[in-house]
Amino acid sequence: MADKTFKLNTGADIPAFGLGTWQGEPGKVKTAVSHALKSGYKLIDAAYCYGNEDEVGAGLADAFASGIKREDVFVMTKVWATYNTRVGLGLEKSLKALGLDYVDLYLIHWPLLLNPDGNDDRFPKKEDGSRDVIRSFDHREAWKEMEKLVETGKVKAIGVCNYSKRYLEELLPVAKIVPAINQLENHPQLPQTEIIDLCHEKGIHVVAYSPLGSTGSPLASAEPVVKLAEKKGVSPYTILLSHHVSRGHTVLAKSVNPDRIDANKNLVTLDKDELKLLDDYSADIVAKKEWKRYVYPPFGVDFGFPDKS
């Protein structure tokens, strides 16, 4: 399962399983990336906002020096919200930190603009401590800049992150290039069926982040997850990761622990009945409006998600 790939709307293949580097402990990300690639991972997810692309790049370099070929590794990173009016500059900074000539996928991290002339490169704030958001910005302008990058050869494909159904419906009519993926927080407590159905309809591949929930993996104790883990003879973490791949989505597993990195890739296939057990759990949560979103920065912006609108 971990070796499975999915076809993007560009014709390229994206691995079904990859290593996420968000919140990677400083000083351990290089080893995590290198170990993951040497143990068989093919996908590395990064972002300028994470502040560790230099460590990711060092890990990539170490893996490449060991004989792993660049063309066998799928690298995606993201332009941060302070660079959404200058995505080309954002890309150059990321490429330099990663030590790469190109990335396989470049994403809009969040569809808003943080003040590019603010008091911080990543998280500018106003005097009252709130995020310095430029309210007049139209996220579709960032996509126009993203489309220009494809011609440079420095990005193989472009996509979005954290796009709701409403935002995607605003983007698609003006997009010359349909996003290759939409990377979303996705797990049984946050099924986001409305946006995932739209992505399927439009040929946009879904990539799930935070598949275990938040710190401490609260979803690992959910009744259907535990039930399936016992049935399959695997850990609840394995079920939560396998859930996405069995649905046809790519999933990102986040760890800097070598043993956990190895364990995470031991996925299992879930059949229709097993997936239905998780789907029914999700449907009940939605019916009760008890969604749980673990990642939602305090931008003060309504991004159109039903659980936050």
d(CA 279, CA 2): 22
- 174 by Cβ neighbours in 10 Å (0-12 / 13-18 / 19+) ranks as exposed
Report strand pairing: 105-108 vs 74-79.
Answer: parallel
Which residue, 191, 207, 194, 148, is CA-closest to 6?
207
- Say if strands 13-15 and 5-7 run parallel, antiparallel, or are unpaired: antiparallel
User: Quick check: helix, strand or coil at residue 182?
Assistant: strand
Catalytic residues: 50
109 is in an annotated binding site: yes
C-alpha distances in Å from residue 229, one per residue of 70, 223, 232, 236, 273: 35, 10, 5, 5, 14
Integer Cα distance of 44 and 77 in angstroms: 9
Annotated binding site for substrate: 109
